[in-house]
Amino acid sequence: MSEKYVPAVGNEEALQNLIGWAEKYRSDNGHAPMAFLHSYGCQQNVSDGEKIKGMLSKIGYDFTEDTDYAQLILLNTCAVRENAEDRVFGNIGNFKKLKENSKDLIIGICGCMAQQKHVADKIKESYRQVDLVFGTFAYNELYSMLWEVISKHRRLFNQSEVCTEIDEGMTQLRDDKFRAFVPIMYGCNNFCTYCIVPYVRGRERSRKPEAVLAEVKSLIEQGYKEITLLGQNVNSYAYGFPQLLRDIDKMEGKFRIRFMSSHPKDATRELIDTIIDSEHICKHLHLPVQAGSDRVLKAMNRRYTVEKYMEMINYARGRMPHFSFTTDLIVGFPGESYEEFCQTKELIKRVKYDNIYSFVYSRRSGTPAAEMEDNISDKQKGLWLRELLLEQREITSEWFGRFVGNTVEVLVDGEGRTGEGWLTGKNDENIIVEFPADKKYIGEFVKVRIIKAMNWALEGEIITE
């Protein structure tokens, strides 16, 4: 049973108390209290982190990238894979010395990992340097929790499982000046057997379309050029996802729309038609298949077959032959045979993905898959993963060739990996494009003529008029 947190004071009263505390801190120390916040994992976590930063900014915190200068350290965690949890525990251990040197330092852990009771219990018993632990349902109570920790010098743990109303008035301090994440829904109803997300994020709750549309319109007016709509399964958006896309597409301005993620069991021809017929929606769909074996898909509770999945691929490619697909794949699911893994290799050859995001199966305590018999060694799973990546590398090198000689539009997002003087960005199909150009183009749309296809990116030359 999760612990029930009962705040000593209401959130608004706590906020006013914190503002007064921050003003006194600034007066006494000559600078604002500093917060270090790091978000692990998916884009949803990044968006949550931006909302937390907005709340801390309202108190009066400034932000630092160096934990040595922080009065508040907050890790916004991910629970999807074991290695993400291991990194968090490693960092918490490293913070012990900081806490010994600064008794007023507050260390907090929040997010998906913190929602799990066994994790909270482990922190409570073994990591005494941590003051505040709260899960995904408790963001709205941040002010009251933080004030209680500061004013009473007590440790506080909040694993509430009560879904509160979505707070549309929450300030979001965005990390990027030209790309933005906009959640349209929270939670998941799918209960794939390997996935912890429905247990730590709760059931699906959709934002009202007028709130989403108002946020997107505001971002466009502020000059944001790429907006990514977020949901564990955007196709389950309660008010109709294709219609939401069409309403956004009607808006005026120079911008792109992307979205993550789309569950194959709910992907429709209407969705494909909406993407292809639009002006602003990127001609790319991330459609996580997870495995190429029907038996494995059933064991995963994915609720589609390979052929059903291929119907959507074939429909899209029938309308637009070079339509871009990416996917997620799990290697070494409990009970998977090598022959079934080879079916996954055959699938990626059939689809011709532009990219795959593949991972060795990670056991998540509390999920049905964690109780399944797993006779495949970690070494064997690693070898399978390498096989899959080598196969995809060849597919990518060949499939990217369709762009050579063509001109694509790229949103430039920074300096490139190719070398000094190179920039990088992504085209409409979400493929990395690198080209030599001046840094003044960062944050802008540019035209690039593609001259070379590699197995990880396209190389081109900027077209200036």
Reply yes or no on whether the pLDDT at 302 is more than 60.
yes
222-247 burial, b at 16+ Cβ within 10 Å, e below that, comes to: eebbbbbbbbbbbbbbeeebbebbeb
Report the pLDDT value the prediction gives residue 85, as an integer from 0 to 100: 86
Q: Which residues pair with 312 in a beta bridge?
A: none
Phi, psi (degrees; rounded to nearest 5) at 455 = -90, 5
Asked whether 127 and 109 are in contact (CB, 8 A), the reply is: no
DSSP readout, 66-107? -GGG-SEEEEEE--SSHHHHHHHHHHHHHTHHHHHH-TT-EE
Q: Is residue 117 classed as helix, strand or coil in its secondary structure? A: helix
Indicate the residue type of 372. Answer: M
Q: What is the pTM of this model?
A: 0.94
Q: Domains in the chain, please, with CATH?
A: 11-158 (3.40.50.280), 179-401 (3.80.30.20), 404-463 (2.40.50.140)
Q: What is the DSSP letter of 441?
A: G
Give the pLDDT confidence of 357-399 residue by residue, as tens digits: 999 999 999 999 999 999 899 999 999 999 999 999 999 999 9
Q: What is the DSSP letter of 139?
A: G
Could you tell me the pLDDT band of residue 2, with boundaries at 50, 70 and 90?
very low
Reply yes or no on whether the pLDDT at 163 is more than 70.
no
| Mean pLDDT estimate for the chain | 94
Q: How many residues does the chain have?
A: 465
- The dihedral through the CA atoms of 158, 159, 164, 170 has a sign that is positive
Q: Which residues pair with 256 in a beta bridge?
A: 226
**Cis peptide, bond prior to residue 261, ω within 30 of zero:** yes
Could you tell me the pLDDT band of residue 450, with boundaries at 50, 70 and 90?
very high
Give the pLDDT confidence of 100-122 residue by residue, as tens digits: 999 899 999 999 999 999 999 99
Reply yes or no on whether the pLDDT at 165 is more than 80.
no
205-218 burial, b at 16+ Cβ within 10 Å, e below that, comes to: ebbebeebbebbee
Asked which of 83-92, 275-284, 318-327 is least confident by mean pLDDT, the reply is 83-92
Binding residues for [4Fe-4S] cluster, by number, are 42, 78, 112, 188, 192, 195
Cα end-to-end span (Å), the chain: 64
Q: What is the DSSP letter of 238?
A: T
Binding residues, by number, are 42, 78, 112, 188, 192, 195
How many percent of the chain have pLDDT more than 90?
Answer: 89
The Cα 122–Cα 89 span in angstroms is 10
For residue 112 the two structure tokens come to 């998906």
The Cα 340–Cα 28 span in angstroms is 65
DSSP readout, 301-362? T----HHHHHHHHHHHHHH-TT-EEEEEEEES-TT--HHHHHHHHHHHHHHT-SEEEEEE--
Contacts of 412 (CB under 8 A, 6+ apart): 423, 424, 425, 437, 441, 442, 443, 444, 445, 446
Give the pLDDT confidence of 175-202 residue by residue, as tens digits: 999 999 999 999 999 999 999 999 999 9
Could you tell me the pLDDT band of residue 97, with boundaries at 50, 70 and 90?
very high
